[in-house]
Structure formats: structure tokens, C-alpha cells
Structure 1
Amino acid sequence: MIRFDDVSKRYPGGHEALKQVSFDMDRGEMVFLTGRSGAGKSTLLKLLMLSEPLNQGQILVGGRNIHRLPANKIPYYRRRIGVVFQDHQLLFDRSVYDNVALPLQIDGYDKHEAARRVRAALDKVGLLSKEKLNPMILSGGEQQRIGIARAVVNRPQILLADEPTGNLDPQLAAEIMALFEQFNQIGVSMLIASHDLSLITRLRHRILTLDHGQLIRDEHHPSRSGATAG
């Protein structure tokens, strides 16, 4: 599903964020990406989102080299990917419903189909009863759930999350991770950057560890459903 083949990324000024990183991720797999601040986690996700160019190597998604996609194919590729950020990136001049509906509006979905999908996503994250509220009045955990609903509303094949529990207390963080596992169980491939080793180790999914831009460890654990990550 996803392959990093000898990938390096150097920023202007000479900082080498990733150094010859290689790994494969299977379709439907849930993988955690960890390492200290500055290890290269966010850069790796940005390369997958096509928000940064790479300097060396190739990244294949579904067998295609995404950094060689024609410009007119990039929007279609991005529709396959949902992204969850640590800071939510919500619009506080819009309701919960309108925040989640935004990707569907951009893609030109029919109003009735969009409404069905938005309410299904909100129901999945436990916020259907709050669709008319302004996100500003909700808790940090609820705001993160809005971000997750928005990321999955167009039913992406891949979900990327960059420190999605970084601002949450341990109980809320565990609840958010349980939500991610539910989406993974219906076939969504997931790559989640997190520095919370105590939490992600308990979940027993595969863990990739970065250090100064290098992939130094690739640990496979039996998943809680009994399957083995490949």
C-alpha cells in the first residue's frame, strides 16, 4: 500500500530531516511513528501529503510514485487521504456540522449525500447531538473528534495523524486511539505520529522509530485482533 524507498529530505539551509528511510506498510495496517521532537515524523507525513518535495528516493502509494504524479492528478490522490492534526485546525466561525462538511463541499458533493456522510461521521465520533454548536465551546477532546470526523467524512483509504493526542489527558488520548482502531478495523490504513510511547506500546501495533531523520527501529507486534502486521 505504502512504500518508502531510500527517501531523504533536506530543507533549505542544509537541515537533513530524513536520511535514506525505507519501509513498507500493508493495506489496512495501523502503524505508529515515534521519535523525539525533530526526529522527522512530521516531515515524513508531509511527504505523504505532497506538501513537501523530497530530495532522494521514491514514495509509492498503491504502486504509484506519488511525487511524479501530474499536477492534475494530485487532487484525486489527496482525496484518498484523511489528515488529523494536533491543533485541530477547525474554523470557529462555523458550526460543528459545517466544519465536517467542508471537504465534501470542496469536492462538490450533492447536498443530501453530504448531509448523510457528515451525520454518519459525527455519529461515529459521538458528536451527532452537537452538530449545530460552535466548536469553540466544546472541550479539547471534542474538538479533536470533530477533526477526526472531518478527516474520515470522505471515506479515505489512508488516514494520517500528526500527534493527535498531544494536547489531551491520558484518558482522552486513549479514547481517541480507540476511535482510530475502530476505523482501522473497517479497513482504513493508518499512520499515526506520536511521542506517547506508554500509550502506543499498550496498543500493540507496529511501531517505527525515527532518530535524527533515520529509521532506527521497526517493531512488529501482534494486533489486538490477533492479526500480525506485515
Structure 2
Amino acid sequence: MIRFEHVGKRYDGGFEALQDLSFELEQGELAFLTGPSGAGKSTLLRLIALLERPSRGHIRVAEIDLSRLRRRHIPYLRRRIGMIFQDHRLLHDRTVFDNVALPLIINGIADHREIARRVRAALDKVGLLGRERYYPVTLSGGEQQRVGIARAVVTRPPILLADEPTGNLDPGLSGEIMQLFVEFNRVGVTTLIASHDLELVGRLGFRRIGLCDGRLDPDVAGGVRA
């Protein structure tokens, strides 16, 4: 489903964020991307979503070679990917309903009944059904993160990417949020989660892909599947 082949990312000024990464994430797999701050976890996720392009190497997502994907086709790729950020990135002047409905509207769905049905279904999955008319500022941090997850899954993408989704939450809420990802993975969603919480990741028992200074960490078992 996701394959990196000798991928590197160099920024202006010469900084090497990622160096010679090769690994594969199989369809329907859940894996954690671990490593210290600055290891390159966020950069790696951004490359998969084509928010940035690699400086070298090849990335394949669902058999699509991203290095050959034309700009006009990028929106079609992103429809296959749900992206969840640590800081939620919710629109605070819009209701929960409007925030979750936004990807559907962007994807061209105009049937208001279909939008309402999908939004309610997504909110039900994250335990927020009934909060449609609330504004993000009235919700707790954990609830805001759940809204962000609902927004990411409302289009039913086959791939979920999450960048430190529990970074601002207490341990109890972190476990609840991670369990949501496990539940989505159980129905076949390929899931890659960046996290620095090694204790929580260890308890869940899924494969880890470790990064250290922009390279795969050889001390993290299961880091390479090529």
C-alpha cells in the first residue's frame, strides 16, 4: 500500500530531513512511526500526502508512483488519505458538523442528506454523536481531537495518517484515541501513526518503524519490510 524506495528529503540550505529510507507498509496494516523530536516523522507523513515532494527516491501509494504524479492529479490521491494532526486544525468559527462535512463538500458531494448521514456516522464512530451544533472552543482537547479524526474518516479513505495525535492529551485520553485507530484498522484501513509515546505504543503491540536523525533506526525491530 505504501512503499519507500531510497527516499531522501533535503531542504533549502542543505538540511537533510530524511536520508535513504526504504520500507513498506502493507495494505490493511497498522504501524507506528517512532523517534525523537526532529527525527523526520512529520516530514515522512507529509511526503506520503504529497504536501511536500521528496528530493530523491520513489514513494508508491496504492501502486501510484508519486514522483510521476502530475499536480492536477494530487487532489485525487489525497481523497484516498485521511490526515490527522496534533493541533486538530479545526475551523473555530464553524460547528462540529461543518468541520466534519468540509471534506465531503470539497470532494463534490452536494446531496445534503448524504452529507448529514455521513457526518453523523463519523461522529458516532468517535463517540460525539449529538455534538453536531457545538463549536470547537466548547469542547475538551480530547473531544477536539475526536472531531479531527471524524473529519479524516468521513470520506472513508483507505489510508489514515496521524501526526502525534495524542501529543497534547493526558495518558487516559491518549489510550482512548489510539483505540479508535485500532478499530478503524480492524475494518481494513491502512494506518500509520507518528508517536513519541513509546510506552503507549509498546502496550498496543503493533509494528514500529523507527527514525533517528532522518534515517531508519536499526535498533527498532520490524522497521523494514521490503
Under TM normalisation by the shorter chain, which class is it? over 0.9
CA drift of 1:59 comes to 0.1
**How many positions carry a matched residue from both structures?**
223
Whole-angstrom CA distance in 1 between matches of 2:116 and 2:153: 14
Corresponding position of 1:11: 11
Secondary structure of the equivalent of 1:190? strand
Q: Choose which of 215, 218, 221 in structure 2 pairs with 1:219.
A: 221
8 Å contact from structure 1 (residues 7, 58) kept in 2: yes
Output aligned runs, 1:110-149, within 5 Å. 110-149=111-150
8 Å contact from structure 1 (residues 205, 220) kept in 2: no
Secondary structure of the equivalent of 1:128? coil
Corresponding position of 1:33: 33
Whole-angstrom CA distance in 2 between matches of 1:220 and 1:22: 13
Secondary structure of the equivalent of 1:181? helix
Output aligned runs, 1:188-203, within 5 Å. 188-203=189-204
Secondary structure of the equivalent of 1:129? coil
CA drift of 1:97 comes to 0.6
Whole-angstrom CA distance in 2 between matches of 1:97 and 1:64: 33
Query: In the alignment, residue 3 of structure 2 is paired with which amino acid?
Result: R
Partner deviation per Cα, 1:14-39 (whole Å, 9 max, x = no partner): 11000000001100000100101000
Query: In the alignment, residue 79 of structure 2 is paired with which amino acid?
Result: R
Query: In the alignment, residue 129 of structure 1 is paired with which amino acid?
Result: G
Query: In the alignment, residue 9 of structure 1 is paired with which amino acid?
Result: K
CA drift of 1:72 comes to 2.1
2:107 is the counterpart of 1:104 = no
Q: State TM-score, norm by structure 1.
A: 0.94
Whole-angstrom CA distance in 2 between matches of 1:152 and 1:42: 20
8 Å contact from structure 1 (residues 7, 56) kept in 2: yes
Whole-angstrom CA distance in 2 between matches of 1:63 and 1:130: 38
Partner deviation per Cα, 1:87-146 (whole Å, 9 max, x = no partner): 000011111111000000111212111111100000000101111111111000000000
In structure 1, list runs of 5 or more residues that go unmatched.
Answer: 222-228
8 Å contact from structure 1 (residues 5, 57) kept in 2: yes
Whole-angstrom CA distance in 1 between matches of 2:129 and 2:103: 18
Corresponding position of 2:187: 186
CA drift of 1:40 comes to 0.4
Whole-angstrom CA distance in 2 between matches of 1:21 and 1:38: 16
Q: State TM-score, norm by structure 2.
A: 0.96
8 Å contact from structure 1 (residues 96, 130) kept in 2: yes
Query: In the alignment, residue 94 of structure 1 is paired with which amino acid?
Result: R
Corresponding position of 2:49: 49
Secondary structure of the equivalent of 1:72? helix
Secondary structure of the equivalent of 1:144? helix
Corresponding position of 1:226: none
Secondary structure of the equivalent of 2:33? strand
CA drift of 1:3 comes to 0.4
Output aligned runs, 1:73-92, within 5 Å. 73-92=73-92
CA drift of 1:45 comes to 0.4
CA drift of 1:202 comes to 0.7
Corresponding position of 2:169: 168
Output aligned runs, 1:141-160, within 5 Å. 141-160=142-161
Whole-angstrom CA distance in 1 between matches of 2:107 and 2:78: 11
Corresponding position of 1:58: 58
CA drift of 1:203 comes to 0.4
